[in-house]
Structure 1
Amino acid sequence: MREIQDKPKGIFFDVDDTLYDHLEPLRQALRKVLSTGEDFPYEAVYHRFRFYSDALSARHGGVNAAGADQDLQEMRVQRVMLALAEFGVQVTETEAARIQEIYLEGQFQISHFPGAVELIRTLQTAGHVVGLITNGPAEHQMAKIKALAMDRIINPGSIFISGAVGYDKPDPRLFMHVNEITGTEASRSFYIGDSWRNDVVGALESGWTAIWFNHRQVKPESDHQPHYHAVNYQELANILLT
Structure 2
Amino acid sequence: MRPITANHAVFFDVDDTLYDHLQPFREALEETLDTGQDFPYEPAYHRMRYYSDYLSAEAGGTPTHGQVLASMRTERFIRSLGEFDLALTAEQAEAVQAAYLNRQFDIRPFPGAFDLIGKLQELGVVVGVITNGPPDHQWRKIRALGVDRLIPAELVFISGAVDLTKPDVRLFELIAGKLGKTAEQCCYIGDSWRNDVVGAAGAGWRAIWFNHRGVRPEEDSHLPHTPVTNYGELARLLLDESK
Same fold (TM over 0.5): yes
Q: Does 1:15 align with 2:14?
A: yes
Whether the 8 Å CA contact 2:11–2:130 is kept in 1: the answer is yes
Whether the 8 Å CA contact 2:24–2:104 is kept in 1: the answer is yes
**Structure 1 partner of 2:26:** 27
Q: Does 1:57 align with 2:56?
A: yes
Whether the 8 Å CA contact 2:209–2:227 is kept in 1: the answer is yes
Q: Does 1:71 align with 2:68?
A: yes
Whether the 8 Å CA contact 2:6–2:124 is kept in 1: the answer is no
Instruction: Please give the secondary structure, in 1, of the residue aligned with 2:127.
Output: strand
- RMSD over aligned CA atoms reads 1.5
How far, CA to CA, are the matches of 1:69 and 1:227 in structure 2?
36
**Structure 1 partner of 2:92:** 95
How far, CA to CA, are the matches of 1:39 and 1:218 in structure 2?
20
Deviates more, 1:21-30 or 1:56-65: 56-65
Whether the 8 Å CA contact 2:183–2:205 is kept in 1: the answer is yes
Whether the 8 Å CA contact 2:121–2:127 is kept in 1: the answer is yes
Instruction: Please give the secondary structure, in 2, of the residue aligned with 1:131.
Output: strand
**Structure 2 partner of 1:189:** 186
**Structure 1 partner of 2:113:** 116
% identical aligned pairs = 54
Deviation at 1:9, TM superposition (A): 0.2
Deviation at 1:238, TM superposition (A): 1.0
Contiguous gaps of at least 5 residues in structure 1 = 1-5
Whether the 8 Å CA contact 1:10–1:185 is kept in 2: the answer is no
Deviation at 1:155, TM superposition (A): 1.7
Instruction: Please give the secondary structure, in 2, of the residue aligned with 1:90.
Output: coil
Deviates more, 1:115-124 or 1:149-158: 149-158
How far, CA to CA, are the matches of 2:204 and 2:66 in structure 1?
31
Deviation at 1:69, TM superposition (A): 2.7
How far, CA to CA, are the matches of 2:115 and 2:108 in structure 1?
13
TM-score (norm 1): 0.94
Deviation at 1:194, TM superposition (A): 0.3
Count of residue pairs the alignment pairs up = 236
Match of 2:231 among 211, 216, 233: 233
**Structure 1 partner of 2:35:** 36
Whether the 8 Å CA contact 1:212–1:226 is kept in 2: the answer is no
Contiguous gaps of at least 5 residues in structure 2 = none
How far, CA to CA, are the matches of 2:190 and 2:167 in structure 1?
12
Instruction: Please give the secondary structure, in 2, of the residue aligned with 1:37.
Output: coil
Specify the code of the residue in structure 2 equivalent to 1:144: K
Instruction: Please give the secondary structure, in 1, of the residue aligned with 2:187.
Output: strand
Whether the 8 Å CA contact 2:127–2:151 is kept in 1: the answer is yes
Whether the 8 Å CA contact 1:11–1:189 is kept in 2: the answer is yes
Match of 1:212 among 209, 213, 222: 209
Whether the 8 Å CA contact 1:192–1:213 is kept in 2: the answer is yes
How far, CA to CA, are the matches of 2:140 and 2:215 in structure 1?
28
Q: Deviations over 1:20-60 (max 9, x none)?
A: 00011010000001111111100000000000000001001
Specify the code of the residue in structure 2 equivalent to 1:173: R
Q: Detail structure 1 runs of 4+ shifted over 6 Å in the superposition.
A: none
Instruction: Please give the secondary structure, in 2, of the residue aligned with 1:70.
Output: helix
Whether the 8 Å CA contact 2:197–2:225 is kept in 1: the answer is no
Q: Does 1:168 align with 2:165?
A: yes
Deviation at 1:64, TM superposition (A): 5.2
